[in-house]
Amino acid sequence: MRGPVRQTEPEVAAGIARLEGYLLAQSRLKEARQEAEAFAGRMPWLTGAQREEVVRVYTQDRIALSRRVLEALVSRADELRLEYTARYEELRRRLLCGGVVAVLVSAVLCAFAGLLALHR
């Protein structure tokens, strides 16, 4: 008999992310369906089949719109991540160079002060 399967932290995080995504998708689908029902409800002249078709098409369109918006947000987030990563790397490089220059200037000043002290 085997014990419970141990999962690594990244696997657990990935599983939770998938579950969150599924729950969010189901929430959006329910929301789209409710909007579609409300929209079709404003057209009392529709037959049952027409009403269902309006609800189906509206729901599909609403989900497609949500998907496009989400994809645009993900794309923009990726762009910002790349931009901020590049800025961070540049700032880190500049800080490192500034630190090296400060250490070198300090060493030169100390050496110069030592030389002056020896010649007195």
pLDDT tens figures, 43-89: 999 999 999 999 999 999 999 999 999 999 999 999 999 999 999 99
From CA 112, how far away is CA 46, in angstroms rounded? 94
| Nearest CA among 1, 67, 72, 84 for reference residue 28 | 67
At 3 the pLDDT is 58
At 32 the pLDDT is 94
How does residue 1 score in pLDDT terms, banded at 50, 70 and 90?
A: low
At 36 the pLDDT is 95
At 11 the pLDDT is 87
